[in-house]
Amino acid sequence: MASTLAEFEVQWEIQKTDLKGNLIAETPRRRRRGDATEHEVINLVRYDGVRLYPGVTIVCKVEGADELSAYMIHEVRLNTSNYVELWCLNYLSWYEINAAERYKQLDGEFYETNKEKGDKFFEETFASQSIKNELYLTAELSEIYLRDLQFVANIKNEKEYLDSVNEGKMDSNMFLCRSACLPSGTNLADLDIHFFEEKIRSSNPKVSLEYLRDITLPKLPKPLNKSKVHAREKVVATKLQSDNTPSKKSFQQTVSKTNAEVQRIASTIVNEKEAISDNESDLSEYHESKEEFANASSSDSDEEFEDYQSAEELAIVEPAKKKVRSIKPDIPISPVKSQTPLQPSAVHSSPRKFFKNNIVRAKKAYTPFSKRYKNPKDIPDLNDIFQRHNNDLDIAALEERFRTVSAKGKMETIFSKVKKQLNSRNSKEEIVKAADFDNYLPARENEFASIYLSLYSAIEAGTSTSIYIAGTPGVGKTLTVREVVKDLMTSADQKELPRFQYIEINGLKIVKASDSYEVFWQKISGEKLTSGAAMESLEFYFNKVPATKKRPIVVLLDELDALVSKSQDVMYNFFNWATYSNAKLIVVAVANTLDLPERHLGNKISSRIGFTRIMFTGYTHEELRTIINLRLKYLNESSFYVDPETGSSYMISPDSSTIETDEEEKRKDFSNYKRLKLRINPDAIEIASRKIASVSGDVRRALKVVKRAVEYAENDYLKRLRYERLVNSKKDTSGNGTGNEELQSVEIKHITKALNESSTSPEQQFISGLSFSGKLFLYALINLIKKKQTDVQLGDIVEEMRLLIDVNGNNKYILELKRILFQNDSVDTKEQLRAVSWDYILLQLLDAGVVVRQYLKNERLSTIKLNISMEDAEQCLHEDEMLKTF
């Protein structure tokens, strides 16, 4: 079931480790401010064991574009208000590499001979040769939001990558990285990715960034004499090559495997025949070159790299020898080639011939689809050609493990259940009966059934249809559609239904409305075209391609409001394509309002299009309660190990008593940890449900509130734990790990706090999170304003605070504060104002825009003004336990 736990962003736990990855204990969990020191690495750990720290490569959604991008985490920062900032180095993909520059840099000869053909030529050549899941690291930094994280990538260096390809152990999280380059896609340089990952982790962020900048800096052509680095690389290269000198047979095998691989990853459309002929020519080159290589390596040279050198010289006739990446095959990129020692000679023997084939192939791929076929009869069967595994639900498939039901390998789908019972047309009731909604989609049975019915009959019959869904945010629209699709996909996987493709386009993620054509076409065909060409291709595809030659497409146009506000043509076109008799297109449009089509398309057109409309109403409090309970199923009543020092916790899975984390953590010693059970008071959930049902019926908000409440409860618990440790200062609290379980319960007070917070402004939240001294400062300021003082000067505030402390200073904590702020009781305020703590108090208020200051040389006389509403500020201050008593 959808991301039951993932919905709770809280699951990100902050841990600090030393450079070797060992946890560093730290006391106040919520007070961890500031960045890690030199010897610490900040780790973000998710409940399921995903661990982020510098050097890890992650794949994220890109805001505004409907695609994924890879980043290497460079620095994890904790800023003052305890928000996590994730700073990452950008990777480029193959299509962002400046192809002409690349060939110029790495294969001067090839570049010179083809120069006059222009950049386009190199782009096309590179498009057909590059490994599509190769990444190129740059020294450009971006900030990444955790919510955009999709998965952690498995980065391989060249050797590991080749090994995986050869062993057929490819998975979609796997990427190759062996080069760095400038953000412009130029100046490729060799990069030992694992070395760099280590460097990032173990050195100051500046150092690793400098290193990366340094190696990608434009370099002068290398002189002929071999530098140390160069030599080292060659030795490695020779090793790599001699290690796997393949027999002829295995080579043939690898060739065919690679071709399959290339076909899989290449987003070009390759004709079968061509691929075969390519294959053959590769093989003949292999035969030719084999002898040459034999000659080359028979020269009796002692030094390993001399050996390599001779092979290389034979291979690439390159006068200037300015190449840095000599190991890389210059036609690099089909993986096998770089692995076989024969590759360089192969290039030598007939470089032109090799390239010609590829040009043809590349050119074909870049003719817009709409212009490629003169006659519909010429259109090949696209079922096989547009073979995209990346249905948009694949990411969600990760979450599938939350959903159980697996009997003897085959899932019971709604389809199979309904079909078992009758042969006639199925009605909504039967679908509702067949599905077990309580376990994954409570309160949306009817909506589910309507959508399910429309989709499945269209897919089964190969027809087109459009469905229009309306409802306010957080009422489960997106979720319901996805659940329907998931079930239908399972049916398709089990051959109960024809295979179909599922595509999501989200209006909020699209910058220009016309980009949605680009995205849509790319998802269908794998081709990246301009939006104009993409639209033509789409029109051609839905209108002209015979229904038998393509599979059904289900497209979810989510957040349609956002799309429409940018342009109305897009909505019109999508609905219009779905009216073509051959289209096999099912449009599911989701919006906030029911009459969007009328308002934007006019009655006439929208009635011609005529779609099913489904209205999602807000949830009632009972429904909200059910949903929250379902969502919390894994959290409520679950047990954790909590580190009393840091507050880090590890969930203990309910069935076995093992820890749900990676291997490393399984070996962790939990004997010093406390065992803790989390319980959420049903009354607390009831209150949250009622309150939110009365406002909006928005589950998203309800879940957020509960999540915050859990955090508050956790805070309370940790406070108590620390207090207990203080009281029995003897260390006998440890060793309790195996002892009895403690209870951490989420109570009504936590929920109320969270509910209040969710209705307060960011400024108010900021104030509530201030240190006591910060609050006292504001309190003093407000006091003075109330006393009708017009220009409140900094000095006045200091005096007022002192007064307040004197009057109320009967508490140990306040006395301590006084000692820090007013050392020695001296009146030398000039010195005091310079003191760090004062600066800190003032600066954080200034930074957050809560107060403004008129700057004067004499700080004491500078005027301070409250920059937010006094009522707001007062309200928050009154909530403070200590200030309450003032």
Ligand X SMILES: Nc1ncnc2c1ncn2[C@@H]1O[C@H](COP(=O)(O)OP(=O)(O)O)[C@@H](O)[C@H]1O
Binding site for Mg ion (CB under 5 A): 478
Q: Per DSSP, which regions of 559-673 are E strands?
A: 585-591, 612-615, 639-642, 649-652
Distance of CA 102 to the CA centre of its chain: 29
Check whether 162 is labelled as a binding-site residue.
Answer: no
Check whether 477 is labelled as a binding-site residue.
Answer: yes
Report the C-alpha gap between 845 and 782 in whole angstroms: 14
Question: Closest CB to Mg ion among 131 and 702?
Answer: 702
State the binding partner of 441 from Mg ion, ligand X, none, CB within 5 to 8 A by kind: ligand X
Closest contact distance (angstroms) between CB of 696 and Mg ion is 14
Which helix or strand (DSSP H or E) is residue 43 part of? strand 41-45
Q: Which of 42, 315, 365, 441 binds ligand X (CB under 6 A)?
A: 441
CA angle 212, 216, 218 (to 5 degrees): 145
Q: Per DSSP, which regions of 375-416 are E strands?
A: none
Strands 149-152 and 134-144: unpaired
Question: Closest CB to ligand X among 185 and 476?
Answer: 476
Q: Which of 344, 474, 552, 644 binds ligand X (CB under 6 A)?
A: 474
Closest contact distance (angstroms) between CB of 394 and Mg ion is 19
Q: What residues contact residue 258 under an 8 Å CB cut-off, 6+ apart?
A: 165, 334, 335, 336, 337
Q: What residues contact residue 416 under an 8 Å CB cut-off, 6+ apart?
A: 491, 494, 496
Contact criterion met (CB below 8 Å) for 700 and 147: no
Contact criterion met (CB below 8 Å) for 24 and 16: yes
Q: Which of 453, 555, 591, 699 binds ligand X (CB under 6 A)?
A: 699
Report the C-alpha gap between 155 and 176 in whole angstroms: 6
Quickly tell me which residue has 């909506």 as its tokens. Answer: 447
State the binding partner of 156 from Mg ion, ligand X, none, CB within 5 to 8 A by kind: none
Question: Closest CB to Mg ion among 470 and 866?
Answer: 470
Check whether 592 is labelled as a binding-site residue.
Answer: yes
Report the C-alpha gap between 863 and 796 in whole angstroms: 9
Confirm or reject binding of residue 7 to ligand X (CB under 6 A): yes
Confirm or reject binding of residue 393 to ligand X (CB under 6 A): no
Closest contact distance (angstroms) between CB of 507 and Mg ion is 10
Closest contact distance (angstroms) between CB of 632 and ligand X is 11
Check whether 476 is labelled as a binding-site residue.
Answer: yes
> What single letter denotes the amino acid at residue 15?
Q
Closest C-alpha to 344, from 279, 296, 277, 275: 296
CA angle 709, 714, 716 (to 5 degrees): 95
Considering only the stretches 101-109, 283-291, 459-467, 475-483, report the one whose residues sit in contact with ligand X under the rule CB under 6 A. Answer: 475-483
Number of chain positions touching ligand X (CB under 6 A): 18
Q: Which of 332, 351, 471, 647 binds ligand X (CB under 6 A)?
A: 471
State the binding partner of 2 from Mg ion, ligand X, none, CB within 5 to 8 A by kind: ligand X
Q: Which of 327, 455, 475, 535 binds ligand X (CB under 6 A)?
A: 475
Considering only the stretches 201-209, 298-306, 321-329, 477-485, report the one whose residues sit in contact with ligand X under the rule CB under 6 A. Answer: 477-485
Report the C-alpha gap between 573 and 586 in whole angstroms: 13
Check whether 465 is labelled as a binding-site residue.
Answer: no
Query: What sign does the CA torsion over 377, 383, 386, 392 have?
Result: positive
DSSP 841: H
Considering only the stretches 38-46, 437-445, 689-697, 867-875, report the one whose residues sit in contact with ligand X under the rule CB under 6 A. Answer: 437-445
Structure tokens at 246: 């393949």
Question: Closest CB to ligand X among 107 and 623?
Answer: 623
User: Which residues on adjacent β-strands are paired with residue 75?
Assistant: 87
Distance of CA 759 to the CA centre of its chain: 29
Contact criterion met (CB below 8 Å) for 455 and 485: yes
Closest contact distance (angstroms) between CB of 644 and ligand X is 33
Confirm or reject binding of residue 627 to ligand X (CB under 6 A): yes
Q: Which of 102, 477, 509, 775 binds ligand X (CB under 6 A)?
A: 477
Question: Closest CB to ligand X among 626 and 771?
Answer: 626
Query: What sign does the CA torsion over 377, 380, 382, 386 have?
Result: negative
Closest contact distance (angstroms) between CB of 448 and ligand X is 9
Check whether 364 is labelled as a binding-site residue.
Answer: no
Confirm or reject binding of residue 705 to ligand X (CB under 6 A): no
Radius of gyration of the chain (CA): 32
Quickly tell me which residue has 């007064």 as its tokens. Answer: 803
Q: Which of 428, 700, 725, 860 binds ligand X (CB under 6 A)?
A: 700
> Quick one: 336 exposed, middle or buried, by C-beta within 10 A (0-12, 13-18, 19+)?
buried
Residue nearest to Mg ion (CB): 478
Report the C-alpha gap between 280 and 379 in whole angstroms: 26
State the binding partner of 570 from Mg ion, ligand X, none, CB within 5 to 8 A by kind: none
Check whether 125 is labelled as a binding-site residue.
Answer: no
Quickly tell me which residue has 């291709």 as its tokens. Answer: 537
Question: Closest CB to ligand X among 471 and 647?
Answer: 471
State the binding partner of 442 from ligand X, Mg ion, none, CB within 5 to 8 A by kind: ligand X
Which helix or strand (DSSP H or E) is residue 149 part of? strand 149-152
Question: Closest CB to ligand X among 7 and 48?
Answer: 7
Considering only the stretches 298-306, 438-446, 543-551, 767-775, report the one whose residues sit in contact with ligand X under the rule CB under 6 A. Answer: 438-446
State the binding partner of 333 from Mg ion, ligand X, none, CB within 5 to 8 A by kind: none
Check whether 445 is labelled as a binding-site residue.
Answer: no
- Cα(first)–Cα(last) distance of the chain, in Å? 51
Check whether 22 is labelled as a binding-site residue.
Answer: no
Q: Which of 180, 443, 632, 866 binds ligand X (CB under 6 A)?
A: 443
Closest contact distance (angstroms) between CB of 620 and ligand X is 12
Question: Closest CB to ligand X among 178 and 509?
Answer: 509
State the binding partner of 550 from Mg ion, ligand X, none, CB within 5 to 8 A by kind: none
Check whether 731 is labelled as a binding-site residue.
Answer: no
Q: Which of 44, 467, 479, 564 binds ligand X (CB under 6 A)?
A: 479
Report the C-alpha gap between 78 and 375 in whole angstroms: 61
Closest C-alpha to 550, from 541, 559, 558: 541
Quickly tell me which residue has 């039967």 as its tokens. Answer: 430
> Quick one: 203 exposed, middle or buried, by C-beta within 10 A (0-12, 13-18, 19+)?
middle
Question: Closest CB to Mg ion among 687 and 692?
Answer: 692
Report the C-alpha gap between 296 and 294 in whole angstroms: 5
Considering only the stretches 115-123, 240-248, 435-443, 849-857, report the one whose residues sit in contact with ligand X under the rule CB under 6 A. Answer: 435-443
Considering only the stretches 271-279, 325-333, 467-475, 830-838, report the one whose residues sit in contact with ligand X under the rule CB under 6 A. Answer: 467-475
Contact criterion met (CB below 8 Å) for 758 and 705: yes
Considering only the stretches 141-149, 471-479, 489-497, 676-684, report the one whose residues sit in contact with ligand X under the rule CB under 6 A. Answer: 471-479
Confirm or reject binding of residue 478 to ligand X (CB under 6 A): yes
Strands 465-470 and 585-591: parallel
Confirm or reject binding of residue 92 to ligand X (CB under 6 A): no
Contact criterion met (CB below 8 Å) for 67 and 519: yes
Question: Closest CB to ligand X among 108 and 476?
Answer: 476
Q: Which of 462, 473, 498, 795 binds ligand X (CB under 6 A)?
A: 473
Check whether 479 is labelled as a binding-site residue.
Answer: yes
Confirm or reject binding of residue 74 to ligand X (CB under 6 A): no
Annotated binding site for ATP: which residue ranges? 471-479, 559, 592, 700
Binding-site residues for Mg(2+), in ranges, read 558-559
Q: Which residues bind ligand X (CB under 6 A)?
A: 2, 7, 441-444, 471, 473-479, 627, 630, 699-700
Show binding-site residues: 471-479, 558-559, 592, 700
